[in-house]
Chains A and B, each alone.
Chain A
Amino acid sequence: MSTLVLLSLTGLGLGALYFLVASGLSLIFGLADVLNFAHGLFLSVGAYGTWWAADRLGLGFVPAAAVGVGLGALAAVLVELLLIRPLYARPIDQVLVTVGLSLAGVALLQAGFGADPVTFPKPAWTEETTTVLGATVPNDRFLLIGVALAVLALLQLFLHRTRFGLIVRAGVEDRAMVTALGINVRIAFTVVFAIGGAAAALGGVLAGVYYGDVSPGQGTSLLIFAFIVVVIGGMGSVAGSALAAVVVGLVQQFTSYYAAAGVGEASVVLVLAMVLLARPGGLTGRTA
């Protein structure tokens, strides 16, 4: 029983990380048709930004994380304005630019902060444990899950209670018709990039807490799972991403534990294949 509880909470924590990266990825793809391979960079900017603010500026964890998240959002806006915007309607060029940027980003982080992982300034209480139903659970799992739930709630509020959210939901469905109603949908693109960048950066902060250190390639490796989550959940659906992130996190944890390390990753790909065979549009896809 205690193993089940620990595996479940760890799986949910991992799912929380995936969700933070995947939600922005999904909205950006759904609205702007941009497959943003540089999204992992926003995660790294968030993680390194937080480390930098804590280590160099001596800020506490929460203000340092705020700096990291702000830098992630800023990076996302700059990428959208300077690199993606000139290339709308040129999908191949966009993919090349974002792939190139993700590679360049890793190299720049290595050049700036070294190739070795740096120790992340995680708050002391996240290293403690709490006993849940007999299981000794590291506190960082609760932080991950709690933050992801809060982001999910905020995103739903944004999407369902604001005009920008209305434009985003409509744009995911039919972008051309949104412009034909006199709405400059490009502004919504920038907003979605900012939100996606901030969420990914927050994912970077939490990844730092979870793994205990940050390294230049961390964003890229988490991005692969985020992409799988987006595809399973259905492009453009935040709720779908949340559901898929939970599924992927749990499947990965349980199979890693009961089968063998490495089987977890493979089983996630298997889940992806099964979902695509059964529901080509993803779990929440309305049309195949």
Chain B
Amino acid sequence: MTALLDVSELTVRFGSSQILHGVGLTVAHQGVTALLGRNGAGKTTTLKAVLGLVPRTGRIRLADEDITALPTHAIVRRGLGYAPEDRNVFASLTVTENLELAARGSGPHHYDLVYDMFPELKQRGKQRAGSLSGGQQQMVAIGRTLLNDNRLLLVDEPTKGLAPKIVTEVADVLARAAEKVPILLVEQNLALVRRIADHAVVLEQGSVVHTSAAADLLTDADLTRELLGVA
């Protein structure tokens, strides 16, 4: 069976500096694929490049379709949900408006699922998203991706800057979401990766340096330290 997402020779340049040097990776049809690496390794850029949010060369296939040349909105409509690193909720819009904006096409739209996972979003429906806490904004960002029937979620550092209690909550939601839809997850929190990731891809200076089952990487303390600088 072919991979759900098949990225090859992905290259990104900003001016004279090259951020990605021919990244190749695949995301399986099930489970969580963790995209790991030190700061500045190119993880966020890889997600953005898949979505066409930054100019890139290479080849990106979603299932059997080459989506490289498509504009971002068309790529997303193929069934991708994106929760960016900085959440990028629309600060001047209410929580409900943020969700409505994300509801694609004729649906179905899983408001029940989103409100079930994040009851707070329903209570705070009329509140401007800009006045939410970081954790609540992350709920909006993840909620947006769960609203539609997506084939793949791209989730970028969902626990960054969050309080430990919220981290657990976000991890629970991601674990639950991963039962239904595969996730390509960028995450620095290795405890979270250990808990929910099935596969691991490690980037270093814009190139893939390691690909394995997540458990194989994370149970090998030496390898983890070598690749990620942490134990």
Contacts and interface: CB of A to CB of B under 8 A. Distances in A.
B135 to A, nearest CB: 19
Nearest to A237: B92
A128 B88 CA distance: 54
B1 interface: no
Contacts of B9: none
Contacts of A179: 53, 71-73, 76
Contact of B77 (A166, A182, A185): A182
A183 interface: yes
Contacts of A173: 90-93
Interface in A167-199: 167, 169-170, 173-174, 176-185
Contacts of B97: 166, 169-170
Nearest to B145: A181
Nearest to B78: A182
B88 A174 contact: yes
Considering residues B92, B105, B144, B148, which has the most beta carbons from chain A within 10 angstroms of its beta carbon? Answer: B92
A169 B93 contact: yes
B100 A182 contact: no
Contacts of B72: 176, 179-180
A181 B93 contact: no
B100 A166 contact: yes
A204 B198 CA distance: 63
Contacts of B163: none
Given A167-B101, A170-B101, A176-B53, A181 B91 contact: no
A90 interface: no
Interface in B64-116: 71-74, 76-77, 80, 82, 84, 88, 90-93, 97, 100-102, 104-105
Contacts of A184: 71, 73-74
A32 to B, nearest CB: 15
Contacts of A56: none
Contacts of B102: 181
A177 B88 contact: yes
Contacts of B76: 179-182
Contacts of B100: 163, 166
Given A182-B76, A184-B73, A170 B93 contact: yes
A182 B73 CA distance: 4
A149 B177 CA distance: 48
Contacts of A178: 101
B141 to A, nearest CB: 10
Contacts of A181: 73, 76, 82, 101-102, 104, 144
A176 B47 CA distance: 14
Nearest to A187: B73
Nearest to B97: A166
B203 interface: no
B51 interface: yes
A153 B51 CA distance: 37
A165 to B, nearest CB: 10
A179 B104 CA distance: 11
Contacts of A169: 90, 92-93, 97
Contacts of A174: 88, 90
Contacts of A163: 100
Considering residues A163, A169, A178, A180, which has the most beta carbons from chain B within 10 angstroms of its beta carbon? Answer: A180
16 contacts: A163-B100, A166-B93, A167-B101, A170-B93, A170-B101, A173-B90, A173-B91, A177-B88, A180-B82, A180-B84, A181-B82, A181-B101, A181-B144, A184-B73, A184-B74, A286-B92
Interface of A: 163, 166-167, 169-170, 173-174, 176-185, 286
Interface of B: 51, 53, 71-74, 76-77, 80, 82, 84, 88, 90-93, 97, 100-102, 104-105, 144, 148
Rank and list the top 6 A-B pairs by shortest CB-CB distance, nearest first: A182-B76, A179-B72, A177-B88, A182-B77, A170-B90, A184-B73
